[in-house]
């Protein structure tokens, strides 16, 4: 019996972005330079496969700086940290490397610049996400107010409606933030926005690619982790763009085969912290059950690279 035909639309770009690539290199180079163990505060990026791989190489993942010894290097995750964290590391005379994505650091600098100009900041982001905690922690308590929804905008209590600016978590859905920004501008006409869109190029590109394949695919799989904001947004974007079924899968073993009953076309993409090897694993699983024809749908080319910190480029 022959396998049923399946057209597989492969989104491009997908998977690792420059910030994730840099963060992983930072951990690997730190282990190479200082030997194991090297401590990492929080998951370096939100992907179990990546974290497990780095753990096997000698990284120790901890929740707080208090879990680290004074005499071993510590790395801060790509999502960014509150200012209190490097301050405490300096007080303890620890060797530390900041793997914060440069695009997240740009938002931090922006928030500080607005604050120095006397403005209170409204951040569009998700409560409890490491990036939100890191950005809000750049300024004293009360200087950054968090909104998650249009409804939150109506309730937020500000110091002075004439002295406001907003910033955005870099991994949100482009479509979601449009409505929240519009609500902020309607309620606070004087609010200042970022010079350039805060949502990162990789988030924007991956969402655009998903929209392009959603119109062709009966189902879409997003390879990524449940705690990855940008991966979860891709699932939502696919559903909103008209795809009848979209599922987040960490590995090929997560595929819901019953949902593919009668499906003739499938789209695949990956969140910015998911390695290509996991995409290949999902493709191989589909090839085991279907006669697969692969079509890559490319909506943008990416050539962004971020340098690792100088301390890791210097000879040990």
| Residue corresponding to tokens 């955005």 | 168
Reading the block at residue 245, the tokens are 């079924």
Mark 144-169 as b/e (b = at least 16 C-beta within 10 Å): bbbbbeeebbeeeeeeeeebbbbbbb
**Of 174, 123, 166, nearest in space to 148 by CA:** 123
Distance CA 301, CA 194 (A): 25
Q: Are 308 and 263 in contact (CB under 8 A)?
A: no
* DSSP secondary structure of 190-213: TPBPPSS-SS-HHHHHHHHHHHHH
Q: Are 312 and 280 in contact (CB under 8 A)?
A: no
Distance CA 234, CA 251 (A): 16
Q: Are 126 and 79 in contact (CB under 8 A)?
A: no
The catalytically annotated residue of 28, 43, 110, 131 is 131
131 is annotated as an active-site residue: yes
Task: Just list the catalytic residues.
Answer: 131
């Amino acid at each position: 019996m022959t396998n049923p035909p399946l057209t597989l639309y492969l989104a491009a770009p997908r998977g690792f972005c420059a910030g994730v690539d840099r963060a992983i290199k930072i951990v690997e180079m730190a282990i190479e330079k200082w030997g194991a163990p090297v401590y990492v505060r929080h998951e370096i990026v939100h992907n179990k496969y990546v974290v497990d791989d780095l753990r096997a190489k000698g990284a120790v993942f901890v929740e707080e700086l208090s879990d680290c010894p004074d005499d071993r290097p510590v790395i801060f995750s790509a999502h960014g940290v509150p200012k209190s964290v490097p301050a405490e590391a300096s007080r303890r005379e620890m060797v530390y490397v900041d793997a914060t994505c440069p695009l997240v650091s740009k938002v931090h600098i922006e928030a500080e610049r607005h604050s120095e100009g006397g403005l209170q900041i409204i951040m569009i982001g998700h409560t409890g996400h490491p990036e939100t905690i890191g950005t809000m922690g750049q300024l004293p308590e009360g200087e950054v107010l968090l909104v998650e929804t249009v409804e939150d905008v109506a309730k937020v209590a500000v110091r002075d409606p004439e002295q406001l600016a907003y910033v955005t978590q870099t991994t949100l859905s482009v479509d979601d933030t449009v409505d929240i920004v519009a609500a902020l501008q309607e309620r606070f006409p004087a609010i200042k926005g970022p010079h350039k869109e805060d949502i990162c190029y990789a988030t924007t590109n991956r969402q655009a690619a998903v929209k392009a394949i959603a119109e062709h695919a009966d189902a879409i799989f997003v390879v990524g982790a449940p705690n990855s904001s940008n991966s979860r947004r891709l699932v939502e974007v696919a559903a909103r763009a008209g795809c009848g079924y979209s599922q987040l899968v960490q590995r090929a073993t997560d595929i819901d085969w019953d949902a593919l009953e009668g499906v003739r076309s499938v789209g695949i993409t990956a969140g910015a912290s998911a390695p290509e090897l996991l995409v290949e694993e999902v493709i191989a699983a589909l090839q085991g059950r279907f006669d697969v024809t692969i079509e890559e749908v490319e909506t943008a080319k990416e050539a962004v690279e971020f340098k690792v910190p100088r301390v890791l480029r210097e000879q040990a």
